[in-house]
Amino acid sequence: MKKETRPDFMWHLDAVVIPFPVAIVTTVDAEGRVNAAPFGLILPFNSSPGNPQILLCSNRRWHTARNIAETGEFVINYAPFRLVGPAALTGLTYDDGVNEIEKANLTAIPALKVTPPRIQECFQHIECRLNRIIRPSEYQDNFIGDVLAVTLDEELTALPREERLKAADPLLLYGIDITSFEGNYAGVGATVRYKPPVTDTE
């Protein structure tokens, strides 16, 4: 038996079971000051190798959204499960100009193609330049970024797909209390490789 649920406010983090990989997005403001904040609503937008793009969804009032609109650059830093504490710290509400990377005791390293830094402790980084903004509501900005560079920990590149996932152990978010910022997080548990049986598809 199935039960209907309503897609109310923040439904994707409460009413349904959708785990999101957590990435710490780094930006700089118009004065060059670094900002960092965790995000889960990120996914590939264009998989074409000739024009790779990624989608980042943000509340329009957040520093990240304002910085991307002003400077046109951002870096998506994918966090491992062990960074649950530091990642959550970057999501607290700080004053303008506060460097959340320093607040969370993380390490900034230069990006290859853009001004915002990468985060050393994260296992994967996607550097982006803003292509366009889609505004589905008065509160939300959806940023389409052109992917300029992708880097990941060197030791991961030599591993097969399953072992790479286990070694990276990405941090997953599957719910949050928006009033207290208490989140529900998970790491990588069991994995399985499954090949569908050969059937008559005609």
For residue 200, is it within any domain?
no
Determine the pLDDT at residue 191: 52
Domain of 69: which CATH number? 2.30.110.10
Q: Is residue 32 part of a domain?
A: yes
Tell which residue, 47, 71, 45, has the closest CA to residue 57: 45
At 140-164, the pLDDT tens digits run: 999 999 999 999 999 999 999 999 9
pLDDT tens profile 58-84:
989 999 999 999 999 999 999 999 999
Residue 97, pLDDT above cutoff 80:
yes
The dihedral through the CA atoms of 105, 142, 172, 176 has a sign that is positive
Residues 57, 172, 75, 108, CA torsion sign? positive
Asked if residue 6 belongs to a domain, the reply is no
Domain presence at residue 164: yes
Q: For the chain, how many structural domains are there in total?
A: 1
Q: Which residue range is the domain that position 146 belongs to?
A: 11-186
Flag whether 4 is in a domain.
no
Does residue 202 sit within a domain? no
